[in-house]
A and B are shown apart, each in its own frame.
Chain A
Amino acid sequence: MNIPKNNYYTKDHEWVRIDGKTAYVGITDYAAHALGDITFVELPKINEALKQSSHCATVESVKAASDVYAPLSGKVLAVNVQLVTNPELINQSPYEQGYFFSMEFSNEKEKSALMDASSYQKLVEEISK
Chain B
Amino acid sequence: MPIQYQGILAEHAHTRQAVSVFDICHMGEFMLQADPAICGFDRVVTQNIISMPLGSCRYGFILNTQAGILDDLIVYRISQASWMIVVNAATTSDDLAHFNKNLSIGCSLEDVSSKMAKLDVQGPQSLDVLEKIFGDGIGRLNYYTFSEFAFQGQHCIISRTGYTGELGYEIYITHDYVGKLWELLLSDPRVKPAGLGARDTLRLEMGYPLYGQDLDISHTPLAAGMGKFVDFSKDFIGCDILIKEQKDGTKEHLIYFQADSRRAPRHGFSIFDQARQVGVVTSGSFSPTLGVGIGMGYVTGSYNIGAPLLVKEASVEIPVKVVKRPFLKSTSL
Contacts and interface: CB of A to CB of B under 8 A. Distances in A.
A37 B266 contact: no
Interface of A: 36-37, 39-40, 42, 58, 60, 62-63, 65, 87-88
B294 to A, nearest CB: 12
B212 to A, nearest CB: 17
18 contacts: A36-B4, A36-B197, A37-B7, A37-B8, A37-B10, A39-B9, A39-B262, A39-B264, A40-B263, A40-B286, A60-B286, A62-B9, A62-B197, A62-B264, A62-B288, A63-B3, A63-B8, A87-B262
B201 interface: yes
B9 A37 contact: yes
B7 A36 contact: yes
Interface in B1-26: 3-4, 7-10
A82 to B, nearest CB: 14
Given A36-B4, A37-B8, A39-B286, A62 B201 contact: yes
B122 interface: no
Contact of B197 (A40, A42, A63, A88): A63
A80 B8 CA distance: 24
B286 A36 contact: no
A37 B285 CA distance: 12
B80 interface: no
B285 A62 contact: yes
Interface residues of B, number: 18
Name, among A37, A87, A88, the residue most crowded by chain B CB atoms within 10 Å (CB to CB). A37
Nearest to B261: A40
A40 B264 contact: yes
A42 B266 CA distance: 16
Name, among A36, A39, A60, the residue most crowded by chain B CB atoms within 10 Å (CB to CB). A39
Contacts of A37: 7-10
A62 B286 contact: yes
A80 B288 CA distance: 22
Nearest to A88: B9
A36 B262 contact: no
Contacts of B293: 40
A42 B288 CA distance: 18
A37 B7 CA distance: 7
B67 to A, nearest CB: 34
A65 B269 CA distance: 13
Contact of A65 (B4, B8, B266): B266
A37 B198 CA distance: 11
Nearest to B262: A40
A39 B9 CA distance: 9
Nearest to B9: A37
A37 B266 CA distance: 16
A58 B266 CA distance: 15
Given A36-B197, A39-B286, A65 B264 contact: yes
B263 A60 contact: yes
Contacts of A36: 4, 7-8, 197
A71 to B, nearest CB: 21
Nearest to A37: B9
Contacts of B264: 39-40, 60, 62, 65
A62 B261 contact: no
Contacts of B266: 65
A22 B28 CA distance: 58
Contacts of B10: 37
A60 B288 CA distance: 13
A51 B293 CA distance: 30
Nearest to B266: A65
A5 to B, nearest CB: 28
A40 B264 CA distance: 8
Contacts of B262: 39-40, 60, 87
A42 B264 CA distance: 12
